[in-house]
Amino acid sequence: MGESPNILLIEDDEDDYLLAHDLLSEVFGNQLRFEWANNWQAGLEAISSRKHDVCLIDYRLGQRSGLDIIRDAVEQGSSIPFILLTGQDDREIDLEAMEAGATDYLVKGQISAPLLDRAIRYSIEQKKVETRLANMARYDELTGLANRTLFRSHLVDCISQTKRNGKVGALLLLDLDNFKDINDSLGHPAGDLLLKEVSVRLAEGVRESDFVARLGGDEFAVIATNLNDTGGASVLARKIIEEMVDPVNIDDWDVFTSTSIGITMFPQDSADPDQLLKNADMALYHAKNNGRGKFQFYNAELNARAQKRKEMEADLRQTLEEGGFSLHFQPKVNLLDGRVVGVETLLRWPHPEQGMIPPDEFIPVAEVTGLIVPIGDWVLRAACAQHAAWRDEGLPPIPVAVNLSAVQFKSPGLMDVVVQALGDWNIEPTDLELEITESMIMDNLDLTTEMLHRLHGLGVRLAIDDFGTGHSSLAYLKRFPMDCLKIDRSFVRDIVDDPDDAAIATTIVTLAKHLRLGVVAEGVETESQLEILRRQGCEEAQGYFYSRPLPPKDFADWYRDYQRRIEVQPKTISMIRRAAAGP
């Protein structure tokens, strides 16, 4: 005689009750735990107490059928296994019983004690497995939080709830700012630990009535209801961001993380769950753009911008396929002898309807969509091809610089593209320079250091672009195989009137000399700017003062003309200036 589960019998016929009781006593003896409900109302009440392990239920219960009661109970969230007891053996009823949610079906006249015992044990076991499977389908295995499926159904419920009670709800979408780096550098087990800790902090940081889910990867969602306005959502977002400030200790490492949050309110922003997710995602994208650990509410303007971005993406893809991009080239000039020491390649998008779209507008879109990788590859190859074409025209080999995007820099194929481009056009590696920004280097030190050394190992020159605007630690500069710094245009612009800018430029020049790096001033437009830079010891300059970026043919013309002018009397500085200023 085994231990008895807690059994509920819903049965309105007293004779049948006695029969069942006898059989159960035969199985469980005085261990039997048993309750009888003699009508369907009492039965439902007993089920809702949730203290039973299994329920035997009669097929006929006065006006109602046992199947209806099972359906009602399931609807109310009961997960008790039901065994339906019927008067007749009928395949139809059997099927119907399964559909209603019963785990088994017994014909009253044919029940024996062992049969009943087996049915009870089997039903309880089957229900356990079902519940586990259902949980797996609704909960995230790693963190135990609700998964996307459960999140979505809960969101649907919350939306209708706010519609009923006139309150507002907020959907917060969270994304860890540096998860990929942590995962890459410390490994997946560490990444998993971080996700677990984040979910604990999230669950502890929100109210009991708030709902936390992990939607996948490092993306989490919080649903808050019963808010009066957006104020409550901002408070919650701030609190969550604050929760992430303390480092997480993983294998004795203090790992710092932070989260960005996109927020959308319902029902006002939308009452459609999919639309709300899109809104929050859009807001999250903007929050991330504003730096780490920020939150952003969805608004209609974001929507318009996102729409524009989508159209631009399709446009970019088509332009790439049709070979519709072009390149302009801007000379860099040595300040001592006036020689042209190279050109910078600048990407242009001549749009059939919108005219020339500046790179600052379309490159960020190409970056988020990943299109920058094939576009950047094209730029690199086209720049090399142009270098070779000028050489074939009889010009001396003009070193050509190409801007790299962070996304491209991290893409594994970059080395191959460089090696192949150099080979295809038979270019001296020192005639190719790659411009990268400080933030690209600082983003993922291990990976970038290796990449920089590999590129430099080819003999390719490396320059840091827009120097002074990033936040590189100067100490790191020494560790990288750099050849040159380009002083950002913003310091050159006011160098004449603003002593602070002049001081920064001087510092960069001194620093570059100290580290034995070349230094180029960007965006030089006037002779007085040039004069100051020269006095500071800056070696090279680039800017409208010499030439705007030009299409290949115009550049070749400009170059020949410029060479002619400086070669007439190359020795005096005043001649160079006059040559630069034109006839």
Q: Which residues bind ligand C2E (CB under 6 A)?
A: 330, 346-347, 358-360, 363, 376, 379, 403-405, 435, 465-466, 489, 522-525, 543-544, 549
Whole-Å CA distances, 404 to 179, 374, 438, 512: 24, 12, 12, 21
Check if the beta carbon of residue 140 is closer than 8 Å to that of residue 74: no
Q: Three-state SS for 577? A: helix
DSSP 494: T
Q: Contact, 541 vs 520, CB < 8 A?
A: yes
Q: How far is the CB of 403 from Mg ion (least distance, A)?
A: 4
The 3-state DSSP class for residue 175 equals: strand
C-beta closer to Mg ion: residue 269 or 488: 488
452-471 residues in contact with Mg ion (CB under 5 A) are 465-466
Residue 435 touching Mg ion (CB under 5 A): yes
User: Which partner in Mg ion, ligand C2E, none is near 358 (CB below 5 to 8 A by kind)?
Assistant: ligand C2E
Which C-beta is closer to ligand C2E: that of 34 or that of 378? 378
Shortest Å distance, C-beta 456 to ligand C2E: 19
Shortest Å distance, C-beta 564 to ligand C2E: 23
> By rule CB under 5 A, what count of residues binds Mg ion?
5
Of 145 and 440, the one with the shorter C-beta distance to ligand C2E is 440
Q: Which does 525 bind (CB under 5 to 8 A by kind): ligand C2E, Mg ion, none?
A: ligand C2E
Structure tokens at 203: 């669950």
Cis geometry, peptide bond prior to residue 267 (ω within 30 degrees of 0): yes
3-state secondary structure 185-200: HHCHHHHHHHHHHHHH
Contact, 17 vs 24, CB < 8 A?
no
How far apart are CB 196 and Mg ion at their closest, in Å? 42
| Type of residue found at 249 | N
Partner whose binding site includes residue 376, from ligand C2E, Mg ion, none (CB under 5 to 8 Å by kind):
ligand C2E
User: Closest distance between Mg ion and the C-beta of residue 487, in Å?
Assistant: 9
Query: Pick from ligand C2E, Mg ion, none: which does 140 bind, CB < 5 to 8 A by kind?
Result: none
C-alpha to C-alpha distance for 256 and 391, rounded to whole angstroms = 51
Kindly write out the interface string for residues 514-533 of this chain, putting x where it contacts Mg ion by CB under 5 A and - elsewhere. --------x-----------
Instruction: State which residue, 210 or 466, has the beta carbon closest to ligand C2E.
Output: 466
Does residue 103 touch Mg ion according to CB under 5 A? no
**Residues 264, 207 contacting (CB under 8 angstroms):** no
Q: Which is nearer to ligand C2E, 256 or 378 (CB)?
A: 378
269 binds, among ligand C2E, Mg ion, none (CB under 5 to 8 A by kind): none
**What three-state secondary structure class fits 486?**
strand
301/360 with CB nearer ligand C2E: 360
Q: Are 461 and 399 in contact (CB under 8 A)?
A: yes
User: Which of 61/335 has CB closer to ligand C2E?
Assistant: 335
451: enclosing H helix or E strand: helix 445-457
Tokens 């009669």 appear where?
Answer: 58
Give the CA diameter of the chain.
123
CB of 521 to ligand C2E, least distance (A): 10
Please name the amino acid found at residue 391.
R
Per rule CB under 5 A, is residue 140 in the interface with Mg ion? Answer: no
User: Which parts of 370-413 fold into alpha helices (H)?
Assistant: 372-393, 406-410
Based on CB atoms, which residue is closest to ligand C2E, 175 or 466? Answer: 466
